[in-house]
């Protein structure tokens, strides 16, 4: 049995519940505002609890977003109304928190990366399967209007068979704006693990699963300095490479060259270009939910703009898609197997750079179906 089938084959769903799905958020840090701004208005989910190891932080977010209760992780996991735990902790805590959640009988939506290594990632998939729960992990940006439109362009045959791709994400790094950026330069961070999931998930949706990777990596500075918030001016260690250049080969043929870098004074993010037998499509930034695509076709003058069609709501979109899938007892579009495959690709890129040799990626996954026309996370579809 492959990693891709383990969890889904053993999954069971609690079909006795109806109506909006209860949500508990663990991790009340920087990204929780974006999630809560959407999850507190989407009618198909109901946020009932926020937990954090920093209790005042959890309480402040609960008050800010009108969430009825806050407290410890243990209290959240014991809350009967909660069916989905939204895990917004730092990468080093992802597997532990998610494992405790599935063992407490909750489904999980988590922030990326899925895990820090393959072993703990596999163990989490197995724990979810054993509990009959779903463990889904960001990004859900490909459910947004921008990437859905780009992916439809490919699936409608507008560029023919995809042949190769070029993706570029380069920036000076996030320590200038994030008030606690240490985790972004520790194991599970760096440009590959922090931003790579957006680009690699998009490539897997466009080309299918990855078979093999080669890479080089570098680290320009041993320390960085926090640029904002109460710890501004504090130096901290850089534990992982801050530049990767990867060559990615897909199971079905085709390849991509990808740069992931926190080493560049010139920001150049969001570049995803896919060349096909009949044309080229340029996607919008895969870290966003919106943006038009651009299509170039052989024999036609000038590019064609393909306007984005679909939902432009941001983070939290995947939680609603999961909530509806739970109620309908159908597979979700952002399964744990997808995030595990992306983790496997990232670990393989890091190993390839480290060892100076190509690494076979052994996990696999099937790209998700595009969303139906008119799919709207803000619609009320789950009635009591
Ligand atoms: N900041 C962003 O712009 C952004 C964007 C997309 C995704 N993410 C992802 O979201 C996650 C969180 O990022 P952030 O920027 O909000 O980090 P953050 O450091 O601001 O917040 C993390 C929160 O989790 C809490 N926490 C840590 N370990 C915990 C545990 N074991 N139990 C309970 N709470 C715990 C911390 O106290 C903190 O409040 C990361 O995985 C990151 O990759 C962040």
Q: Does the Cβ of 93 fall within 6 Å of ligand 1?
A: yes
Omega cis (within 30) before 139: yes
Q: Does the Cβ of 26 fall within 6 Å of ligand 1?
A: yes
262 pLDDT more than 50: yes
197 pLDDT more than 50: yes
Instruction: Enumerate the domain spans of the chain.
Output: 3-137+316-333, 142-309
13 pLDDT more than 70: no
Same fold flag, 3-137+316-333 and 142-309: no
Q: Under CATH, which architecture does the 3-137+316-333 domain have? A: 3-Layer(aba) Sandwich (3.40)
Task: Report the predicted TM-score, pTM, of the whole model to 2 decimal places.
Answer: 0.96
Report the DSSP beta bridge partners of residue 165.
256, 274
Could you tell which of 24, 31, 192 is best to mutate to test the pocket of ligand 1, judged by most ligand atoms within 8 Å of the CB? 31
Q: What is the reported pLDDT for 14?
A: 58
Could you tell which of 61, 77, 88 is best to mutate to test the pocket of ligand 1, judged by most ligand atoms within 8 Å of the CB? 88
241 pLDDT more than 80: yes
The backbone region for 27, taken as left when phi is positive above 0, alpha when psi lies in -120 to 50, beta otherwise, is left
Q: What is the CATH number of domain 142-309?
A: 3.30.360.10
344 pLDDT more than 80: yes
Q: Does the Cβ of 231 fall within 6 Å of ligand 1?
A: no
- Sign for the CA dihedral angle at 195, 67, 180, 173 comes to positive
- How many degrees, rounded to 5, is the angle at CA 326 between CA 324 and CA 328? 65
Burial letters for 155-187: b for 16+ Cβ neighbours within 10 Å, e otherwise? eeebbeebebbebbbbbebbbeebebbbbbbbe
In Å, how far are 74, 81, 130 from 53, measured between CA atoms? Answer: 10, 21, 27
Q: Virtual CA dihedral for 94, 98, 100, 103, nearest 10 degrees?
A: -160
Which residue has the least CA distance to atom 34 on ligand 1? 52
Q: Does the Cβ of 189 fall within 6 Å of ligand 1?
A: no
216: helix, strand or coil:
strand
């Amino acid at each position: 049995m492959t990693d891709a089938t383990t969890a889904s084959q053993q999954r069971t769903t609690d079909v006795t519940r109806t109506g909006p799905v209860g949500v508990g958020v663990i991790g009340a840090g920087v990204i929780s505002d974006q999630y809560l701004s959407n999850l507190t208005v989407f009618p198909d989910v109901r946020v009932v609890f926020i937990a954090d190891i920093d209790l005042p932080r959890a309480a402040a977010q609960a008050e800010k977003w009108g969430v009825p209760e806050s407290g410890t992780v243990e209290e959240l996991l014991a809350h009967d109304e909660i069916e989905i735990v939204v895990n917004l902790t730092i990468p080093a805590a992802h597997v532990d928190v998610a494992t405790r959640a599935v063992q407490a009988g909750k489904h999980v939506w988590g922030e990326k990366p899925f895990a820090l290594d393959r072993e703990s990632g596999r163990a989490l998939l197995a724990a979810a399967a054993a509990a009959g729960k779903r463990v889904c992990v960001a990004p859900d940006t490909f459910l947004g209007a921008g990437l859905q439109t780009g992916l439809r362009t490919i699936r409608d045959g507008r560029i023919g068979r995809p042949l190769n791709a070029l993706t570029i994400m380069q920036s000076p790094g996030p320590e200038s704006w994030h008030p606690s950026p240490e985790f972004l330069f520790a194991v599970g961070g760096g440009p590959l693990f922090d931003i790579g999931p957006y680009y690699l998930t998009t490539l897997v949706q466009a080309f299918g699963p990855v078979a093999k990777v080669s890479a080089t990596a570098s680290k320009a500075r041993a320390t960085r300095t926090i640029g904002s918030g109460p710890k501004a001016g504090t130096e901290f260690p850089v534990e992982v490479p801050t530049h990767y250049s990867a060559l990615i080969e897909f199971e079905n043929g085709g390849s991509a060259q990808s740069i992931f870098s926190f080493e560049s004074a010139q920001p150049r993010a969001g570049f995803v270009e896919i060349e096909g037998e009949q044309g080229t499509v340029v996607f919008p930034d895969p870290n966003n939910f919106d943006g038009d695509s651009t299509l170039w076709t052989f024999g036609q003058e000038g590019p064609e703009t393909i306007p984005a069609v679909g939902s432009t709501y941001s983070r939290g979109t995947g939680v609603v898609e999961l909530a509806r899938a739970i109620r309908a007892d159908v597979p979700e579009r952002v399964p744990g197997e997808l995030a595990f495959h992306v983790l496997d690709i990232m670990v393989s890129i890091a190993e390839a750079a480290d060892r100076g040799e190509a690494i076979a990626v052994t996990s696999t996954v099937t790209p998700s179906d595009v969303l139906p026309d008119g799919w709207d996370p803000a619609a009320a579809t789950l009635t009591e």
